[in-house]
Amino acid sequence: MSTGPLLSPRRSYRGITVVIVLIGVLLGWGFRQSLTPFVLDKAEPLITWSNGAFEPGRFWFEWQKESRDATVQKLEAQNLRLYNQLAAVGRIAEENQELRSLLKLTLPKAYEKVTAEIILRSPHQWNETLTLNKGFESGLAVNQVVVSGKGVVGKLIEVTAKTARVQLISHPESLVSCLIGKNQTPGVLSGRFRQKPAHLRYLQNFASLHSKDPVVTSGLGGIYPAGLILGTVLNLKKKAAMPAPEATVELSALKDTLRFVVVLIPQASEDPS
C-alpha cells in the first residue's frame, strides 16, 4: 500500500520562516515596550533641546516678529517726519497769513512802515517787552508805534543800530488815550500784563458803554495816531454808588503769538520854502 506524498522541503522552509518572523516580531514588540520608557527618560533632555534648536516654526515666528517690529519702527519714523513736515507747513502758512495782513494794513496819513521780525520775547510777565531785528539804521526811533494786522502792539522804548525794544500796551506803565464805542466816549487804556485784560480809566461820569464796543486810539498825547485798533470792551460793571462804570478791554493784537510787526515811521514834513 502506497503512502501520500511527503511535504516538499520548500514548503517546510517557508513555514519555518513565517514562524521565525512572527516570533521576532513578538520579541521586538515586547523589547520595545519594555525599553521605550527607559530610553525616552534618558533621551528627554536631548529631545527637548533639539525641538527648541531645530523647530522650524519657532524660527518662522521669530523672523515674522522681527520683520513686523522693523516695519512698525519704519512707519513710526515716517509718521514723525510727516508730522514735522505738516507742522512746518502750518507755521509757514501762519507766517504767510500774518505777512499778508501786514501788507493789507491801512496806514495813517503821513506815516510809512517798516516790517520787522520779533527775535526776542521778555521771559517774565514783569518785563512786557519784545525785541525786533530792525534799528535806527532802518529808520526806527524811540516812541514810534508798533502795530500788527489786528491792532496796536506797543511803542519803541529803546533803539540800537540793528535792534529795537518794544513796550507792549499790556505793560502796567503803558497809558494810551482812547475812544470807546459809537459814542466815542473818551478814556485812557491802562495795561495790566498780558495775563489780564487791560483797564479803562478816567471815564466820564455816567459814560454809556457796552460789551464788545471797539476801543481805538484818540490821537491825543502825540505818540499814537488816531483811529488805531486797541481792542474791545470785555467786561462792564456799573454800580449805583459810582457814577462812572468799570470796564476791561481785550487787546486785539496780543491775543495771538506774533512773529512779524510793522513800525509806523512819521514821514518827514516838507519844507514850504
- What ranges do the domains of the chain cover? 108-267
Mention the CATH class of domain 108-267.
mainly beta
Rounded to whole angstroms, the Cα distance separating 157 from 20 reads 120
Cell digits for 101? 495782513
Give the tens place of pLDDT for each residue, 18-69: 667 776 665 565 555 555 555 556 666 665 665 555 555 555 556 666 777 7
Reported confidence tier of residue 2, pLDDT bands at 50, 70, 90: very low
185 and 200 Cβ atoms separated by less than 8 Å:
no
DSSP assignment of 67-85, as one string?
HHHHHHHHHHHHHHHHHHH
Q: How much is the mean pLDDT over the chain? A: 78
What pTM does this model have?
A: 0.62
241 and 77 Cβ atoms separated by less than 8 Å:
no
